Amino acid sequence: MKVLIIGGSGLVGSKVLDLLNSEGTNLVLSPSSKELNILNKELVNQYFEENNDSFDVVINFAAYTDVAKAEEQRGDKQGLAWALNVGGLENILKASKKYNKHLIHISTGFVFPGTPDFPGPYSEDAPLLKESEYKKLGWYAITKLEAEKLIKKEAYPKVSVIRIPYPVRA
């Protein structure tokens, strides 16, 4: 299997990158954010085009993950949290579809509020919150939820979403 890991220097991405390399995965590409700027649609498409034969699967770990700082950007769709978590994912999703790559998108369990009216546990086909219910979520969770909604809207069948609830550095 030939894998492109986006966000391979982060907490979870770096561990998966190490694991794939140690397991003998045929090829793992993990470009830096300078080599693959997911905020720029044209550069994402260019990277996919130039490396099209080098990978079959894309794993997207790239995200704005500082929950507290994301909350400071609440409501700002021009902010970095929204740009990375929604806009960056949209660019990766469209390029994955264009070049027929399987996309594995890393999301978060925070997309579910865990409140008395939504106590959990949640199944993989649990409905996503409506915008009117967003007050129960932090901005980080809202950006990740909006990214998942983009995936559903795009209706590209070669996408998997993995929700990681609480990653811990070991």
DSSP for 9-33 reads TSHHHHHHHHHHHHTT-SEEE---T
Q: Where on the phi/psi map is residue 127: left (φ > 0), alpha (ψ -120 to 50), or beta?
A: beta
Domain ranges of the chain: 2-164
Tell me the torsion sign for CA atoms 109, 112, 117, 122.
negative
Packed helices 139-154 and 89-98: angle between N→C axes, nearest 10 degrees: 20
Q: Which residue would you say has higher pLDDT here, 13 or 139?
A: 139
The CA-based angle 42-90-47, given to 5 degrees, is 35
**Dihedral, CA of residue 4, residue 128, residue 82 and residue 97, to nearest 10:** 40
pLDDT at 86: 98
Q: Which residue would you say has higher pLDDT here, 76 or 134?
A: 76
Q: Which residue would you say has higher pLDDT here, 15 or 40?
A: 40
Phi, psi of 65 (to 5 degrees): -110, 0
Asked if pLDDT for residue 115 goes beyond 70, the answer is: no
Whether the CB-CB separation of 159 and 105 falls below 8 Å is answered with yes
**Of 75, 105, 73, 110, nearest in space to 88 by CA:** 105
Output the average pLDDT for the chain: 89
Determine if the peptide bond prior to 167 is cis (ω within 30°): no
Q: Give 28's pLDDT tier (boundaries 50, 70, 90).
A: confident
Cα gap 95→38, rounded to integer Å: 10
Asked if pLDDT for residue 111 goes beyond 90, the answer is: no
Joined tokens for residue 90: 């949209």
Mean pLDDT of 130-145: 88
Q: Give 143's pLDDT tier (boundaries 50, 70, 90).
A: very high
**Dihedral, CA of residue 70, residue 152, residue 12 and residue 23, to nearest 10:** -170
CATH number of 2-164: 3.40.50.720
Joined tokens for residue 37: 């700027």
Asked if pLDDT for residue 150 goes beyond 70, the answer is: yes
Q: How large a percentage of the chain has pLDDT more than 90?
A: 58
What pTM was computed for the model? 0.89
- Containing 71, the helix (H) or strand (E) segment is helix 67-72
Report pLDDT digits (tens) over 46-99.
999 999 999 999 999 999 999 999 999 999 999 999 999 999 999 999 999 999
